[in-house]
Structure 1
């Protein structure tokens, strides 16, 4: 079975890969042998992540880019192909949230969330597609959310962006299957990250409500994403495309 999950010789781009879920996925791919490109705007944080990944015996570099900016994305893809000669895996993980009810969100805030979470996936996927196709195929993983499934009064822009991620994933999966490119989404539940720590401060009782509903009885952590990312990046998932897989400890199956 080891060969099914072997990523040696593969090159993976992870946007927002310098912390949280992104770094957890990058670590999983590095442990399977993939070289990693960490894309983010915080250079110091990215360099720390790269040191962590390189210590696992793979090549790792950082590229500073705003992935909601078309020119930055084009430059990022050019830098990766120049440095590695190929791209095999793209993980669209960059994300943000602004927690306000729908009647209070301003247009600028709406655009910031949509552009960071959804437009970035469109730009990066479109830019990476010719390289993946030229290589004979590849993998794209888009990061959605449990709010791709549920409604949430406190995060309308975030929920809209993450619902859009699932439909964009399906569209790309259908379009690019003939090119041997598999496109799937991961839907994280309540994961202990900087974003959710802020949510716990803003939403009274959130921590206890999450624990009460989650069959696994805990919040997730970034290491919970290394395995699923490796599976969806590896030959083991060559006949899996267009899916949206919850990673939530069972939260989404509870009535």
Structure 2
């Protein structure tokens, strides 16, 4: 097989074919990383990985980041977070509280070194629905007027473990829950491109703003910049392993399916650098 990398949209993303991550060469891994640098999202098709094989493959992309949703760790491989809609905690109205809650976000901004990559592997899919949306936040930032870019580029955000307490132990809440400061506009270390970088549900506030003003800014930016020119909606197929670069991507789950069917995804996070 020869690895092939093909763009899936003008906005974001590429499809990777002709590679088995169990046996991938260093050169093939480097090609996937180059595809991620350029397209921010890589869809690796037709994978067949055990939990241990998945973790071994993920380590080819860097050290693995801690999972703070301790109650969702895989029994077979602790670096894997098992996202099973049929086992979601319920809110006061009896509705499932699903991870991410269907909002645009980047992962784990509550860490000093948030993950550079998130890897999501489809283990069980619903009969219909359950897509994931990905937004190119580098293009989103570039679409703003220059004077607005200048106002945003030096902002700092304070981030904490403010969401998903149902899935996190008291020990991990104490370990990972303290506020961390990150740039609101993040520069990608490989390409130098700048992106809007934020997890609204983990955002305590932006320096110089109230929490309410901070949320208003983020939601306004999302509303104005996440559209058909910046977004790709992925329809999952069995065996899909999707990797995205949190340094330039926001994502959201679409909860338009029967949660009791059990949409099961295995997530691994690859540790990144301190954001700049």
Interval containing the TM-score (normalised by the shorter chain): under 0.3
Instruction: With the length of structure 1 as denominator, give the TM-score of the two structures.
Output: 0.27
- The structure carrying a bigger strand percent of its residues is 2
